[in-house]
Structure 1
Amino acid sequence: MFIGYLAVTIFAALITASCAYTYLTGHDYPKAQMRMKRIPLSWGPVLGLILAAGAVGLLAGLAVPLLGLIATAGLQAYFILALFAHLRVGSRKLTGWAVFYLTETAALVLHLAHHGLP
């Protein structure tokens, strides 16, 4: 159980950090996504910081379980809101969203299975 928890948590942190990096460095893909969802480009760095905090929280949760729980719950909220942003503009291109959401969900489920509720 621990190996699965560790592997999924590290994977979730890595993909979340890579997503944060694209937002924080001004990469074209997140800009195109924000334009498509009609989100102001000025929000890019804020979204990147939220994702970066989530990635750090996932890793910190390996040592302090409550931080991991807060990070996974926060990332769940982030990606649920991202789904609403997609649906609001009629976007049905949800493959990327699903990969992130399901990875964060797996991290949350394994966190709770390993540590239980606080």
Structure 2
Amino acid sequence: MIKKFAELRAQMSPGARTASANKAHAMLVEMPLNELRQARGLSQKTLAQVLHIQQPSIAKLEKRTDMYISTLRSHIEAMGGELEVVARFPEGAVKISNFSDLGSPTRA
């Protein structure tokens, strides 16, 4: 017999529900580019069309471990997002602003 997730969740203890929610949140906070694209409901072909490149280029980009920030920014923006570069230190996090204007018109 198949049970609905809501029914299964209702049977969980409050602690188990909290642990489940924390694990789900952690999985959504960090993921590879290909999983992010899939989670956004986009195919490689669709993303390639938005970026005006060929689909194999998307597949290659998603496998890379090193790339230009401008390339990653374009990829993220094509998915409807915004890229932020943040450095984390024991004392706190600092948003690096050098990259926020990449691709934007030159300011007067």
More helix, by proportion? 1
| TM-score category (smaller protein) | 0.3 to 0.5
TM-score, normalising length from structure 2? 0.38
More strand, by proportion? 2
Q: More relative contact order in 1 or in 2 (CA 8 Å, sep 6+)?
A: 1
